[in-house]
Chain A
Amino acid sequence: MPCSRLVASLALATFMFCPTLHAEAPRDGDGFVPADAIPDVNLRAQGTPVPRIGRAREDFARHCQGCHGHEGVSVAEVPRLRDRVGWFAHTREGRAYVVQVPNVLQAHLPDDRLAAMLNWVMTSFSAAQLPADFQPFDADEVRGLRTQRLDSVVRRRAEVVDGLVRAGVVDSADVFAFSLAPGRY
């Protein structure tokens, strides 16, 4: 009797607070906010609209874009994502690699948000390179892959790229040109 009452009261408490929890639901983040709608002296002077940022794009911005660039293209020291990263989804090793790259593996993000962010990166930057039957990442796959750490990232990358060439996904490893040589990391 006390147990059932306790369960009931907990259920009620959870139910009552549900709207708060649901406020964390994914944001799409489409469109722009007009500059004059934002209280900021400089934005109003410039008049440039400000994009609305969805959850996955925010996670990319906070954890990746500083180096990879907001368009997925950056300096020579940072591998480009745009028109390239989707190739990795063609093989099992490639899928694993994009999760196990150290700053993805160790990102301050829970598995479900990391999966959503990876899917956003794949489809936003490199949809044309994805396999026709691309299966989005989910939290379970990401959780499993995150438990395995790569010892030498650059060497593993070279192996994965070699596998993509051998599988006929790309013609040449040059597609993945990157200035760091194997063995340095």
Chain B
Amino acid sequence: MFFMQMFDRLIERMSRRTAQSVSRRSFVSSLGAALVGATVLPVLPVARKANAAEDPALMWAKRVGAQTKDDAACNYWRYCSGDGYLCSCCGGGPATCPPGSSPSPTSWVGSCLNPDDNKMYLIAYRDCCGKDACPMCNCLGTAGEMPAYRPQLNNDIIWCFGGSSMVYHCSSAAVVGQV
């Protein structure tokens, strides 16, 4: 019982001391600042950047478990924005056309994350053309892709234009550079 009284008195003394030294106005202003801060901070560019949808290339790499060793698999890191049959499965390589087809003079460029060094690279998606479609290893990556009304950022388009043939064979993915 004695202990409880001691405790009561202690708390009472502390409250009174606080009440004497701190004005109610000061408490209200701090609370106000905290509330306003909580609403304003998320609008700052910093917070927006942090909450912005994760980079699509990073999301793709996480989702498919991107790897750097097997270019005949859809989750090979360079294929994050490619759409079509892998030239690697058709007698070519990730950046070379199979015999009998030729690289289109035009391509579209995306960026992929290399999961092993965590750096971003620009990738040119160049279709190999001039031979019937090679229906092997059909892969679809859509990282950073835009609708077809942004054709230079769209991969549904057959990127064979400008070449001698519009017949699509397969899709290659060459590393343009490190960003």
**Interface residue B36 (Cβ < 8 Å from any Cβ of A):** yes
Contact B107 A77 (CB under 8 A): no
Contact of A10 among B44, B107, B161, B179 (CB under 8 A): B44
The DSSP consensus for interface residues of chain B is mixed
Q: In the complex, which residues of chain B have a beta carbon less than 8 angstroms from the beta carbon of A5?
A: 29-30, 33
A66-B37 in contact given A52-B178, A53-B177 (Cβ < 8 Å): no
* Interface footprint category on B: 35 or more
Contact B106 A38 (CB under 8 A): no
Q: In the complex, which residues of chain B have a beta carbon less than 8 angstroms from the beta carbon of A181?
A: none
Contact of A53 among B36, B108, B122, B152 (CB under 8 A): B122
Contact B122 A62 (CB under 8 A): yes
**Interface residue B1 (Cβ < 8 Å from any Cβ of A):** no
Q: In the complex, which residues of chain A have a beta carbon less than 8 angstroms from the beta carbon of B107?
A: 66
**Interface residue B13 (Cβ < 8 Å from any Cβ of A):** no
**Interface residue B22 (Cβ < 8 Å from any Cβ of A):** no
Q: CA of A5 to CA of B93 in the docked complex: distance in angstroms? A: 61
Q: CA of A53 to CA of B105 in the docked complex: distance in angstroms? A: 21
Please give me the residue from chain A that is nearest to B28 by CB atom: A2
**Interface residue A6 (Cβ < 8 Å from any Cβ of B):** yes
Stretch at the interface among B4-12, B113-121, B130-138: B113-121
A27-B179 in contact given A67-B106, A78-B162 (Cβ < 8 Å): yes
Contact of A14 among B29, B37, B46, B122 (CB under 8 A): B46
Contact B106 A10 (CB under 8 A): no
* Interface footprint category on A: 35 or more
Please give me the residue from chain A that is nearest to B47 by CB atom: A17
Q: CA of A74 to CA of B178 in the docked complex: distance in angstroms? A: 23
Contact A50 B37 (CB under 8 A): no
Q: In the complex, which residues of chain A have a beta carbon less than 8 angstroms from the beta carbon of B44?
A: 10, 13-14, 17
Please give me the residue from chain B that is nearest to A3 by CB atom: B33
Contact of B95 among A42, A62, A74 (CB under 8 A): A42
A-B contact pairs, 26 of them (CB 8 A): A2-B30, A2-B32, A2-B33, A5-B33, A10-B44, A29-B177, A33-B178, A38-B121, A39-B68, A40-B77, A41-B69, A50-B178, A51-B176, A52-B177, A53-B122, A53-B179, A57-B177, A58-B122, A61-B176, A61-B177, A62-B111, A62-B122, A66-B159, A67-B162, A75-B162, A108-B150
Name the 9 nearest CB pairs between A and B, nearest first: A75-B162, A39-B116, A53-B177, A17-B46, A51-B177, A2-B29, A66-B108, A53-B179, A61-B109
**Residues of B participating in the A interface, judged by any CB pair closer than 8 Å:** 29-30, 32-33, 36-37, 40-41, 44-46, 49, 68-71, 77-78, 93-95, 105-111, 114, 116-117, 121-122, 124, 146, 150, 152-153, 159, 161-163, 175-179
